[in-house]
Amino acid sequence: MLPNLVFQDILKILAGLVVATGIGWIFECLGFSESNIITVYILSVLIVSVKTKRRLFCLISSMASVVVFNFFFTEPRYTLFAYDRDYVVTFLIMFGSSLLTGTLAMEKDRNAREKEEAALLAKNEQMRANLLRTISHDLRTPLTSISGNASNLLAKGDNFDEETKKQLYTDIYDDSIWLIGVVENLLSVTRLENQNMSLRLSAELIDEVIEEALHHVHKNRVDHVITTEIEDGILMAKMDVKLVTQVIINIVDNAIKYTQSGSHIAIRAWKEDTFVKVSISDDGPGITDEEKMQIFEMFYSGKMEVADSRRSLGLGLALCKNIIAAHEGELTVTDNIPHGAIFTFTLPSEEIELHE
């Protein structure tokens, strides 16, 4: 890798010298003074210094510019000698100006890159701060519920009837499942942010993936009507089955959380060109145009109240967007007329080979 970069930088120096010499010849034919030609070479060094990003190449480019200028534009032509001793001063000034200009350009470029890195670092730190603040705020409720219910069962369990115990067990289970989902999303977000999300692609049946996802959605699904419709009979897509299952779980869980009891959630899959499309629609209150522009942003949890009064961390849809993008697909949200929302994502389709 390093030799290739060095070779590329050398080519940039040569290209700069060739272009500067060509312009110098044009200037000479037009009767421009040598000072204008020298300025062209200094400009060439400036450009090369910005493009190469190595101080050594700035020095080489400065020295080469002086030598080439001497070779082509001073008497005697096409030699490295100069009749006029004043040219020695000219060469020194040209070399110093080129080197100084190139060095300043490199320094400015380095400062700009440092500012970009500092801004990126500040953004990452702000993201971590937001994550920690959100986690500490939103995880407190389920953890408090789990510890409180467990404490009641330990201290007064013998005095509770079976129905009360079952309700406490159910609350503990629901809160723990929610926490597991949060942890899964956090781990996946971390992998995506660190670019460690390696896809384990395989051809999978869409109906089986949807069925597996529905086994893991929030238990409140019993209060909603969930239907599935798979077109074209056997429909297969190329995917990381675990990640796509998580996408379906997150979207369906959102539909459950943000719609009233008894709402209808429809999951439909069909093939379109070289892609498989999966849509998850609901007939809830829908999503405003303003929220559509922010709904896939990290930590955005919307303005609507969640049915179980527990706020979302705002990671689920952002994670879904990144997972689908990693599959070279697209995740979009549209209105479900007359009311509700439709989330649609695409995956590369996989043809089925039948061997007789």
User: For residue 325, how far is the Cα from the chain centroid?
Assistant: 9
Taking the alpha carbons of 98, 99, 104, 107 in that order, is the dihedral positive or negative? Answer: positive
Distances (CA, A) of 142 to 174, 187, 188, 258: 9, 19, 21, 18
> For 203, what's the count of Cα atoms within 13 Å in the CB-facing half-sphere?
8
Torsion of CA 201, 203, 206, 208, to 10 degrees: -90
Q: Contact, 317 vs 206, CB < 8 A? A: no
Amino acid 112: pLDDT: 80
Q: Which pair of tokens denotes residue 338?
A: 């007359």
- Locate tokens 């044009």: which residue? 26
> Which CATH architecture describes the domain 202-348?
2-Layer Sandwich (3.30)
- Predicted confidence at residue 220, as pLDDT, reads 57
pLDDT for the residue 354: 47
Q: CA-CA distance, 41 to 53, in Å (whole number)?
A: 18
pLDDT score, position 293: 85
What is the torsional sign of CA 239, 242, 245, 247? negative
pLDDT of residue 313: 52
CA distance 328 to 295: 20
> What pLDDT shows up at residue 267?
96
How many residues are given for the chain? 356
C-alpha dist (Å) from residue 38 to 4, 60, 96 = 31, 16, 12
Question: Are the beta carbons of 300 and 294 closer than 8 angstroms?
Answer: yes
* pLDDT for the residue numbered 83: 64
Average pLDDT per block of 10 residues along the chain, 356 residues long: 72 87 90 85 79 74 83 83 70 73 73 82 73 68 87 88 89 82 71 64 92 78 85 86 88 88 92 93 90 79 50 68 89 92 94 56
Return all residues near 305 (Cβ < 8 A) that are at least 6 apart: none
Identify residue 275 by its one-letter amino acid code: F
Q: Specify the residue for token string 């500040």.
A: 122
pTM of the entire structure?
0.56
DSSP 258: T
How many angstroms separate the CA atoms of 65 and 49, rounded? 13
